[in-house]
Amino acid sequence: MVLDERRSIVVIEDEEAIASAVAARLRSEGYDVHVASDGHAGVELCSEAVPDLVVLDLMLPGIDGLEVCRRIQSERRVPVLMLTARDGETDLLVGLAVGADDYMTKPFSPRELVARVQAILRRVDSAVNDANGSNGDLRSIDDVEIDMVRRRVRRAGEVVHLTPTEFDLLACLAARPGAVLTREQLLREVWGYRDGSGARTVDSHVRAIRRKLGTDIIRTVHAVGYAVSDGDDG
């Protein structure tokens, strides 16, 4: 794949072999890639390069990936794909809470990495198109209001910050109130994955949304998937 307009990606990874492999694969896909090997250097590089996306390792020397994510997100909203050698639920939820859009657990395949990067950037492009278009609308789930044009969520009148992925997941469910969507459907429609892998990614993002909007906003349908209220169920 060769991009019509080169996108810039910053890779912040202290393991040289992984950083080199990731950078080489992304460059072969047409991306302009910059690499930093520790947290402080990564924050500085993001300020200088102003990337379209950041691939960020969780465990870094200096300051860890969570703090790096907080700092780069405080300067400007930028999509973040977090890499972690651990898959503990707490680590993943904290990563999502500080603004990561998705995560991958090491070891991972270069093909999967590229697929996730492309999926995140597609969501960014879609958000821009929605904001520039005129066919957005407002959707409500109980006291939660979803502004599809401004990509803004309010609960009881108060703005609640969701990451781009969290917003897309909530919007996907809200578009079909009462319908139960399987994890595989959500992976296809929200993440753009076609192979059905990544069910835990869906679960982690649902938990992150519940932490921000309340446990009642998304209903779990055991052994099937997730749904939001259609206004008739309590």
Q: Within 13 Å and on the Cβ side, how many CA atoms surround 40?
A: 2
CA dist 168 → 26, 161, 171 (Å) = 25, 13, 5
What is the predicted pLDDT for the residue at 2? Answer: 41
Q: What is the pTM of this model?
A: 0.73
Q: pLDDT digits over 64-89, tens only? A: 999 999 999 887 889 999 998 876 66
Cα 19 to Cα 33: distance, rounded to the nearest angstrom: 11
Q: Which domains does the chain have, with CATH numbers?
A: 8-128 (3.40.50.2300), 134-227 (1.10.10.10)
Instruction: State pLDDT tens for residues 19-60.
Output: 999 999 999 999 999 999 999 999 999 999 999 999 999 999
Q: Name residue 109's amino acid.
A: S
Q: What is the pLDDT of residues 169-218, one digit of tens each?
A: 999 999 999 999 999 999 988 888 776 667 788 998 999 899 999 999 99
Quick check: 181 and 172 in contact, CB under 8 A?
yes
Tell me which of 97 and 174 has the higher pLDDT.
174
pLDDT tens track for 217-231: 999 998 899 999 875
Enumerate the β-bridge partners of residue 100.
Answer: none
The per-residue DSSP string of 182-207 comes to EHHHHIIIII--SS---HHHHHHHHH
pLDDT at 134: 46
Q: How far apart are CA 78 and CA 183, in angstroms?
A: 26
